[in-house]
Homo-oligomer: A and B are copies of this chain.
Amino acid sequence: MLVRSEFDIQFHLPSQAAMVAMLHLHPSLERYTQQGNVLIIEHLDDGVAPNSGERIWAKEFIDSFGNRCSRFVAPAGLLRLSSTSVIDIEGEPDPMDESARQVPVEELPDEVLQFLLPSRYCQVDLFQSIALELFAGTHPGWPRAVAIRDWVHQHVQFDYMAARVTKTAMDVFNERVGVCRDFQHLAVTLSRCQNIPARYVTGQLGDIRWPYSGPGDFSAWYEVWLDGRWWTMDARHNQPRVGRVLMATGRDAADVAITTSFGEATLRHFWVESNEVDMDGNILINTDLALRGDAA
């Protein structure tokens, strides 16, 4: 299936600042990319139309997790980051395998071991006893990984107003409310406590083949390592979904911020969309699903 992912994000900077963006498609998706995947960075004057601002050139690098990062110096004033990509990805829902076995720690690949460690928002060291008590009765491997994901989904409420940049997995466990990032941080932490390697993912997930759910946004989900590979998990939506577009993976949100500004930057505009399209670029909407949305 063809997916078109687009965004237009604008910041105002009172003075020049270095920035890092992780807004490209993930390098693993490059061979499926049909169009775009170019990050356009512009310095806008107020009266300037999109794509006609002064272009700012970024230097790119691959971080230690394999993500494509862009570095640049943004001048004072209005900054616009935008991109449109079309990608041909498999139209299948997130794969599942109830027989996927838990890999003993000693058999994990070297580079996977780090995804068992505590990180900024995933305080594995604080949750050892909690995770043991909650999931002791589950079977290792796929059933345990899913039990963790389901538990988080059922015990945390979604609320856009409950987001904050300092919010940790322990905060989520206590407050039981958050945004997608928070659901995944808690699930990642509990998985690691059970010796299931888990990493945090950012990407785009529109309402593809799914009822309309409101204005678009970037999304977060996570992956667990079972039976020799990474599997997509999503403690917020908790449904196999179609059309996830991977952007970056890391230990938690600290590693894969969409943008990091080393200086003040105020968000002024935020538009993100991801849609299934046909060969001519027309957006496909599944009428049945739209109806299902009405009924929900």
Query: Which A positions have Cβ atoms within 8 angstroms of B?
Result: 18, 20, 61, 63-65, 69, 71-73, 104-106, 110-111, 113-114, 116-120, 123, 125-127, 129-130, 133, 155, 161-162, 164-166, 170, 173-176, 195, 254-255, 260, 262
Contacts and interface: CB of A to CB of B under 8 A. Distances in A.
A108 B12 CA distance: 24
A106 B18 contact: yes
A105 to B, nearest CB: 4
A165 B106 contact: no
Contacts of A69: 110
Contact of A119 (B114, B120, B130, B174): B120
Nearest to A125: B166
A123 B119 CA distance: 10
What does DSSP make chain A's interface, helix, strand, loop or mixed? mixed
Contacts of A114: 63-64, 255
A208 to B, nearest CB: 30
B104 A18 contact: yes
Contacts of A129: 155, 174, 176
Given A118-B254, A170-B174, A262-B195, A71 B110 contact: yes
